[in-house]
């Protein structure tokens, strides 16, 4: 009963909370709000095709309406095969012209969008898991999860692969999507021209919680980005008083968190779940499902399946005091 009630308390405010978070943080949404060169080229292609498509539809509609209203002088005579010119003009000439234009711009757009980056470009490895994202910066020795930071104004090379099933990586404001395959590494080059927080989510059905496999892409000016890199490179540093931190760290190991999670700089070195070294600096919980606040974290740690049914993380039974210590510890991982 107690658990049931608590669960309800934790759960009920969620929809509005997420809504608020979304409204406050995300300025943009979708492919038609391009923030980088690739997305812009695609949006241009879209507007061109929309114009051509609308024009084609208008031609079709005019011919249709005229045909319907026209009536025929000699309604009794089924006649022979006629209006061949209409078939030739509308059926062959019109599509040929439209399609040639579309093809030309398609090929041009494909050439505009780079699919490889020069040596020395910032590389970010994205590894798909059911249902979260492992993010690595191999040139900087950083491992994090569900949040990708990138500098503004220069291309970034994403190396995409999967640890289990097929997922798909997609930041609509920055460009097209590309699959994460277990058998290969796909390369996607993206660039953000303005700072911003872009919401992204898995775009290939990947099982039960496909809908809750979200990712934040955070584009920052160079300075802030290199600060972030430095922070992330450092091992975990708990800000709470050291004795409390030590207790939390112990509890983290005792209740089994360390078998899946890594906290660099401590003994925790599990690899089944997200790296939590700088967990508290991340904006969301449960792969973009919840804002990262102590209340949500408490709900997530004690009963993750109430929030994201079927997720790999088990529920943890904790008493009131343990819960406080553990949350405090996690919130201290900045």
Q: Which 188-247 positions form the footprint of another protein (CB under 8 A)?
A: 199, 201-212
Listed residue (148, 161, 162) closest to 190, CA to CA? 148
2 touches another protein (CB under 8 A)? no
Task: Provide the mask over 107-146, with x wherever binding to another protein is found by CB under 8 A and - wherever it is not.
Answer: x-xx--x-x--------------x----------------
163 touches another protein (CB under 8 A)? no
CB of 134 to another protein, least distance (A): 17
CB of 91 to another protein, least distance (A): 4
Total residues at interface with another protein (CB under 8 A): 96
Enumerate residues 8-27 that contact another protein by CB under 8 A: 14-15, 18-23, 26
Listed residue (146, 159, 165, 73) closest to 115, CA to CA? 159
CB 217 within 8 A of CB 175: no
CB of 269 to another protein, least distance (A): 24
Out of 1, 120, 183, 319, point to the residue binding another protein (CB under 8 A). 183
172 touches another protein (CB under 8 A)? yes
Out of 1, 4, 5, 79, point to the residue binding another protein (CB under 8 A). 79
Out of 32, 122, 229, 244, point to the residue binding another protein (CB under 8 A). 32
Please state the separation of Cα 136 from the chain's center in Å.
15
Integer CA distances (angstroms), 187 to 122, 171, 180, 310, in order: 12, 14, 10, 30
Closest CB to another protein among residues 41, 145 = 41
CB of 116 to another protein, least distance (A): 10
4 touches another protein (CB under 8 A)? no
Which position has the token pair 């405010």? 13
Q: Which stretch binds another protein (CB under 8 A): 40-48, 143-151, 254-262, 266-274?
A: 40-48
Closest CB to another protein among residues 93, 234 = 93
Closest CB to another protein among residues 96, 239 = 96
Closest CB to another protein among residues 72, 242 = 72
Closest CB to another protein among residues 86, 267 = 86
CB of 65 to another protein, least distance (A): 10
CB of 191 to another protein, least distance (A): 15
CB of 244 to another protein, least distance (A): 34
CB 185 within 8 A of CB 116: no
What is the secondary structure of 239-271 as a DSSP string? -S-HHHHHHHHHHHHHTTGGGT-B-TTSS-B--
Q: Which stretch binds another protein (CB under 8 A): 103-111, 145-153, 217-225, 318-326?
A: 103-111
What is the secondary structure of 30-92 as a DSSP string? STTS--SHHHHHHHHHHHHHHHHHHHHHHHHHHHHHHHHHH--S-TT----S--HHHIIIIII
CB 203 within 8 A of CB 180: no
Listed residue (168, 133, 149, 143) closest to 217, CA to CA? 149
Angstrom distance (rounded) from CA 97 to CA 101: 6
CB 299 within 8 A of CB 286: no
Closest CB to another protein among residues 262, 289 = 289
CB of 150 to another protein, least distance (A): 18
Helix axes 94-112, 37-70, angle to 10 degrees: 170
Beta bridge partners of 190: 156
Out of 95, 138, 221, 256, point to the residue binding another protein (CB under 8 A). 95
């Amino acid at each position: 009963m107690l658990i049931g009630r608590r669960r309800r308390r934790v759960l009920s405010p969620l929809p509005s909370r997420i809504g608020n978070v979304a409204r406050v943080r995300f300025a943009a949404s979708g492919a038609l709000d391009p923030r980088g060169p690739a997305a812009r080229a695609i949006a241009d292609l879209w507007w061109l095709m929309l114009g051509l498509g609308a024009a084609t539809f208008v031609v079709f509609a005019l011919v249709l309406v005229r045909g319907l209203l026209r009536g025929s002088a000699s309604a009794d005579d089924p006649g022979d095969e006629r209006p061949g010119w209409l078939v030739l003009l509308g059926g062959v000439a019109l599509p040929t012209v439209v399609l040639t234009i579309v093809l030309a711009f398609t090929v041009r757009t494909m050439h505009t969008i780079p699919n490889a980056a020069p040596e020395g470009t910032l590389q970010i490895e994205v590894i798909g898991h059911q249902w979260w994202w492992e993010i690595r910066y191999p040139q900087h020795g950083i491992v994090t999860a569900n949040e990708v930071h990138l500098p503004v104004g220069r291309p970034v090379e994403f190396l995409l692969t999967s640890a289990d099933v097929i997922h798909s990586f997609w930041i609509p404001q920055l460009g097209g999507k590309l699959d994460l395959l277990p058998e290969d590494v796909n390369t996607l080059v993206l660039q953000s021209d303005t700072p911003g927080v872009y919401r992204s989510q898995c775009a290939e059905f990947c099982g039960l919680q496909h809908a809750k496999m979200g990712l934040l892409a955070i584009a920052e000016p160079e300075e802030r980005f290199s600060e972030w890199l430095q922070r992330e490179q450092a091992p975990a540093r708990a800000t709470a008083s050291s004795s409390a931190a030590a207790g939390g760290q112990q509890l983290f190991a005792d209740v089994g968190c360390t078998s899946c999670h890594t906290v660099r700089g401590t003994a925790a070195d599990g690899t089944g779940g997200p790296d939590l070294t700088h967990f508290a600096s991340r904006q969301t919980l449960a792969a973009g499902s919840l804002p990262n606040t102590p209340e949500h974290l408490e709900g997530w740690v004690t009963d993750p399946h109430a929030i994201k049914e079927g997720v790999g993380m088990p529920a943890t039974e904790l008493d009131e005091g343990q819960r406080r210590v553990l949350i405090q510890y996690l919130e201290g991982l900045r």
